[in-house]
Every structure is written in C-alpha cells, then in structure tokens.
Amino acid sequence: MSKWNQFPHDSTAFSYEDEALLESWPDLHRGDRVEFPDADWVQQTLETCPDAAPANYNGDSASLAATIQDAWRCFHRGDYQQSTDLADQCGHLAHAVANKAAGIYATYLQPGEAEQQALYLTAVQRAEAAISILPEDPNSHYFHAFNLGRYSQSISIAKALAQGIGGKIQASLAQALELEPDHAEAHTAMGMYHAEIISKVGKLIGKMTYGASKENALWHFDRALELTPGSPIAHIEYGNGLYLLFDDDRLDEVTDLYVKATELQPADAMEKLDIEAALAELE
C-alpha cells in the first residue's frame, strides 16, 4: 500500500491517550453513535456474531479492544492510514473506524480521482461484509451509504443514479435510522440524498421515482442539527442541501450555516478538515 498523505495541521489537541478517549467518547461519537469498544463490548458482540472476530483471535478480548481503541485514537488525530491498518487487523469488529477513516481521507486528503474512488469502493466492500456479519449494527449500514454516497459524488450523481446506486444509498440509510433513530450523521446523509435527487431530476420525478422531497430533506437536516448542534459537518451539509434545493434564493442562510460551522471548536482531525473546507468555500 502506498503511503497516504498526512493530516496537514497540528494534531496535538486531538490526541486522546489513555483514559481521555473514554472520557471524550460521548462528544466524539455523538454523530455516529458508535459504542465504546471495551473488552465487554468485544466479548458480547462476538458471542452474538463470532464471525466478526479476526482470523487469529485467541479469546483475548482486552487486547483486541485495545487495538480497536488505538485505531480510533489514530482516526481522531488524523492518522488515517494507521487507523485503517489497525482496524483491518481486528476483523469486522472494527469496520466502522476503517470505513470512516478511509472515507474521510479520500474526501479531504486524496486529490487523485482514481485513488479516491478506489478507497471508497474498498470501504463499500468492507461495509457489505459488515452488513452480512453485523446486520444489527447501524453503522454497518451507515458507512455503506456514506462511502457509496461519496463515490457517487465523485463519478457524478447522474451516473450513480443510472447505475442504481441511489436506491442502495437510500436503503442503507433507512436501515441505519431504523436501527438507530438518533444517528445524526445518517440524518445529514439522508437529507443530502433527498436534496441531490431533487436537484438532479426535479421534484416530480424525484418524488415518483425515488421518494425524494424538499420537505424530507429539510426535516433530516433539522434533526441532525438538533442532535449535534456542535457538529461542523451538520451545518455544512445543511448549507449544501439548501443550495441544491433553492439555489441562490436562500444564499444568506447557506452562508450563515457555513459561518457557524467555522466558529465551532473542532473535537478531532475530521472536524478540523470540515471547518477548513468551509473556510475555503467562504473565501
């Protein structure tokens, strides 16, 4: 594997060593609702889904939990390659951190289109395996939709719809929200799904063919902000969705959402990258 690009900012504030990770976990994961991967969680998950274990698992749930926690520490400080590498050593138990790391890295730090798409598709395949093995985990479905959505944007929404990808994204997001109704990132993604469909094919075809509507888009964006008022991406994607739905008619609101995103304090490297992207759009 070629060396991934480095996080281009100081990550000192995002180093959650020792007990700091557990203490900060509720804030760091308010958006994706990932459970803290301690030894009890590992043991309980493997009792229900033994195939989620890595091939070399010897029953040491504490050691496996520590590796998954380290993968998340790497993610939060912006070491996305190490995060993915560690996660892939942990079988399907660590699918969420691997797929989030790959997706965020591809979005912000990988400029090559072919390499970007390959990362998304690898994450989609990993998520499909997680869905088959951990079907009750909402993030199996969410990160499937997340990476499929980013892949769709990279090839164009029109091409993605022609390939039937839109329906897969919608189905995975719906399942994630059925399993976890307070999954803020899934609400944001569902809002973008509706907004992009309406923007691309119009209200009538969007509603008849894809079940998309402006009302649903706005409801999901509002719900995401209600659940995670401190999330930069919830503000940014709401702004993006408003622009897709209303063009310049609500540009002041779009700008306001972007400005609010830049005024938030980033909790980790991902949020720092979100904020930097918003600042670039405001220039």
- What is the mean pLDDT of the segment spanning 260-270? 98
Q: Give pLDDT, residue 207.
A: 78
Query: In angstroms, rounded to a whole number, what is the distance separating the alpha carbons of residues 226 and 207?
Result: 26
Q: What is the distance, to the nearest Å, from the Cα of residue 107 to the centroid of all Cα atoms in its chain?
A: 11
What is the CATH code for 181-283? 1.25.40
**pLDDT class of 265 with cuts at 50, 70, 90:** very high
**pLDDT class of 125 with cuts at 50, 70, 90:** very high
Query: In angstroms, rounded to a whole number, what is the distance separating the alpha carbons of residues 47 and 266?
Result: 36
- What is the mean pLDDT of the segment spanning 82-91? 97
**pLDDT class of 210 with cuts at 50, 70, 90:** confident
Q: Give pLDDT, residue 253.
A: 97
pTM (2 d.p.): 0.95
Q: Give pLDDT, residue 205.
A: 78
List the chain domain ranges. 16-142, 181-283
Q: Give pLDDT, residue 149.
A: 94
- Write out pLDDT tens, residues 14-34: 999 999 999 999 999 999 999
Res 213 pLDDT > 70: yes
- Write out pLDDT tens, residues 190-201: 999 999 999 887
In this structure, of 120-124, 155-159, 212-216, the range with the lowest mean pLDDT score is: 155-159
Write the CB contacts of 80 (distance below 8 Å, at least 6 apart in sequence).
Answer: 4, 7, 74, 101, 102, 104, 105, 109
Res 1 pLDDT > 70: no
**pLDDT class of 171 with cuts at 50, 70, 90:** very high
pLDDT over 70, % of the chain: 99
Res 202 pLDDT > 90: no
**pLDDT class of 275 with cuts at 50, 70, 90:** very high
Q: Give pLDDT, residue 173.
A: 98
Largest CA distance in the chain: 60
Mean pLDDT of the chain: 95
